[in-house]
Amino acid sequence: MSDAQDEAREATSRTVPTPASAPTAPPPSAAPADAATVTQSTSRLSGTSYEGPLKNGWFEGSGRYRFPNGVVYEGQFHKGEFHGDGSLIYPNGGRYVAKWDRGFAVGGQYVFNDGLLYQDRGWQYLTRKDRRFYSEVLHGLQPAGNTLLTNEVPSPLIPYGCFDTGNGYFEPELGHIISYDGHDVLSVPTQDEMEWILTYCRKGFDVKVRSVHGGMAAAT
The model's pLDDT over 14-53, given as tens digits with 9 standing for 90+, comes to: 333 344 444 333 344 334 444 455 666 666 677 889 999 9
Q: How far is CA 9 from the centre of its chain?
A: 30
Same domain, 97 and 167: no
| Residue 149 belongs to a domain | no
Asked whether the predicted pLDDT for residue 10 surpasses 90, the reply is: no
Percent of the chain with pLDDT over 70: 58
Q: What is the pLDDT of residue 126?
A: 60
Give the end of a domain, one of 55, 78, 111: 111
Q: What is the pLDDT of residue 14?
A: 33
pTM (global) more than 0.85: no
CA-to-CA distance for 75 and 90, rounded, in angstroms?
Answer: 14
Listed range (101-105, 192-196, 202-206) with the worst mean pLDDT: 202-206
Same domain, 78 and 17: yes
Q: What is the DSSP letter of 106?
A: E
| Average pLDDT for 167-194 | 91
Same domain, 76 and 165: no
Same domain, 91 and 187: no
Range of the domain at 47: 3-111
Specify the amino acid at residue 150: T
| Residue 176 belongs to a domain | yes
| Residue 132 belongs to a domain | no
Asked whether the predicted pLDDT for residue 189 surpasses 50, the reply is: yes
In the chain, how many domains are there? Answer: 2
| Residue 31 belongs to a domain | yes
| Residue 117 belongs to a domain | no
Domain containing residue 93: CATH number? 2.20.110
| Residue 128 belongs to a domain | no
Same domain, 16 and 106: yes
| Residue 121 belongs to a domain | no
